[in-house]
Amino acid sequence: MRKKLFLFIFTFSLLTLHAVPFQNAVAAYDMTVQNGSIQDITGHGYNSSGLGGATQTTSTYGKALYFDGSDQVVINDASGLRLLAPFSVEAKFMMTGTPGDWVRVVGKGSSSQRNYGLWYNPVYNYFLFQIYDTPRGVYGDAIITKGISMNQWYHIAGVYDGSTMKLYVNGNLEQSIAFSATPGITSDNLTLGYAGYHTTHIGLIDDVALFNTALSGSDVLAHSQTNMETVVPEPISLFSLLLGIFILGISSLKQQKNLL
């Protein structure tokens, strides 16, 4: 009986394990590929429409996608991906080749209306979190100058709470600007590795996530140090394990008393 109870509780606990830091994301991608598409691990169904030439590989953070300079991953437009304040977007990337222009690691929008985007420019050593809407004269550029090295992972995050845009690199707040405009919302697809204008990424991309909340600095720092594939327990999982240990202890005591 005790063995059956233990197996039940242990199995239940395993079923409730998942990557807690990303449980509240709108969409999240640890670069798991299934049926030729990267999977949205939140369960919201925002899977990509293919790999667009990118290939799955393994690296520091487990699975990653490799982009050879001509690839673009597309996640089809959906209302849930059209983010209004507050929101956050983040990704990890590594350059293995040097593009000659701006690269959008992840983002949504056209050349004139950009809902959100995380960019880098290795020529001028720029990191950029951008909200952009030319028709309305809306320009939000949280930008910094910071060296970008080859074969090194960077975590980049943009957070917008409705009044302030914040840009984080490797968990550190690098730029904060006052901004209070409504982002430009379009039917453009969400893309990884290439915006469809400027140039394409050469290297790896991993751990992309979108949130409809403004992440705190401690959240961003934790995400920068976390592998999205890492399995950690939810409170309910810990509770079930503790409950199981307690029940097994009571059962053991009763058995011992019966033997006396």
Domain co-membership, 234 together with 216: no
Q: Same structural domain for residues 56 and 169?
A: yes
- Is the same domain home to 90 and 117? yes
Model-level pTM?
0.83
Residue 214 Cα distances to 47, 82, 130, 222, angstroms: 23, 15, 15, 14
pLDDT tens digits along 87-123: 999 999 999 999 999 999 999 999 999 999 999 999 9
Q: Are 22 and 39 in contact (CB under 8 A)?
A: no
User: Residues 182-239: pLDDT tens digits?
Assistant: 999 999 999 999 999 999 999 999 999 999 999 999 999 999 998 887 644 444 444 4
Chain segment 221-237, per-residue pLDDT in tens: 999 998 887 644 444 44
246 and 119 within one domain:
no
Q: Are residues 103 and 34 in the same domain?
A: yes
**What average pLDDT score do residues 170-182 get?**
98
**Residue 11 maps to a domain:** no
Q: List pLDDT tens digits, range 3-28.
A: 554 444 444 443 344 444 677 899 99
pLDDT tens for 54-87 read 999 999 889 999 999 999 999 999 999 999 999 9
pLDDT at 14: 38
pLDDT for the residue 8: 45
**Assigned domain for 2 exists:** no
Please state which of the ranges 174-178, 217-221, 251-255 shows the lowest mean pLDDT. Answer: 251-255
Position with higher pLDDT, 230 vs 42: 42
One domain, residues 169 and 61: yes
Closest CA to 230 of 7, 50, 11, 28: 28
Do 149 and 47 belong together in one domain? yes
Q: Please report which confidence band the pLDDT of residue 166 belongs to, taking 50, 70 and 90 as the band edges.
A: very high
Residue 15 in domain: no
User: Per the structure block, which two tokens stand in for 221?
Assistant: 């720092």
What is the bridge-based pairing of β-strands 126-133 and 62-68?
unpaired
Residue 146 has pLDDT above 50, yes or no: yes
Tell me, what's the pLDDT at 16? Answer: 42
Q: Which CATH number goes with the domain that contains 208?
A: 2.60.120.200
Within this chain, do residues 258 and 172 fall inside the same structural domain, yes or no? no
DSSP bridge partners of 25: none
125 shares its domain with 213: yes
| Same-domain status, 241 and 151 | no
Residue 61: inside a domain, yes or no?
yes
Higher pLDDT, 243 or 14: 243
| 175 and 250 together in one domain | no
Whole-number mean pLDDT of the chain? 87
Domain total of the chain: 2
Domain span at residue 197?
24-227
Q: What are phi and psi of 149, to 5 degrees?
A: -100, 155
Answer yes or no: is 101 within a domain: yes
Whether 260 maps to a domain, the answer reads yes
